[in-house]
Amino acid sequence: MIALAQTPMPPQPRPEQPFPRTAGILLGLGLGGFFDGIVFHQILQWHHLLTCAGFPADSLRNLEINTLADGLFHASTYVFVLLGLVVLTRAGRRACLRWSAMLVVGSVLIGFGLFNLVEGIVDHQLLDLHHVNETVPVEQWIWWDMGFLAWGALMLVAGWQIHAIGRQRAALHRP
């Protein structure tokens, strides 16, 4: 039998896909949690996860409980970052992505803002687990909490706007 030489098929171009916004949002959720835990819990020591939930940082035992809770909180934010990287990696393997700093920054800000809004509403207001700055008099806590929510809303809106501009610019540059 004579073997026919097979000509290799030229590689097919991968279809172009938009930047995976979900990846940026997951990364933003994780980074928002890291910022909260590292800056507010550890560096400034304004609060811990459970300081208003029956475990004020007034004893070694309560501090140990809060440190464990803070660690579990950090572990959950780490999961968001890992999930964001998984989504980003999978999207990058399947298609040609139109990378844009505006798309990345915008989607990360959306996630960071969502973190602040959800954490601020659920943990600070609904569950009363802790408040942003517990080193000030109790009657001032609400102002810090509202500032945290406003900061989150501002990041969400700014992120949405930046992402929208990035999508418009990417659409203009498509061949």
Per-residue model confidence as pLDDT tens digits over 3-58:
555 666 665 555 566 788 999 999 999 999 999 999 999 999 999 999 999 999 99
The sign of the torsion formed by the CA atoms of 37, 38, 43, 44 equals negative
> Helix H segments across 42-140?
60-94, 101-119
Round to whole Å and give the CA distance between 109 and 152. Answer: 9
pLDDT of res. 3:
57
Average pLDDT for residues 142-169, to the nearest whole number? 96
On whether the CB atoms of residues 49 and 119 are closer than 8 A, the answer is no
pLDDT of residue 19: 81
Give the percent of the chain with pLDDT over 70.
Answer: 87
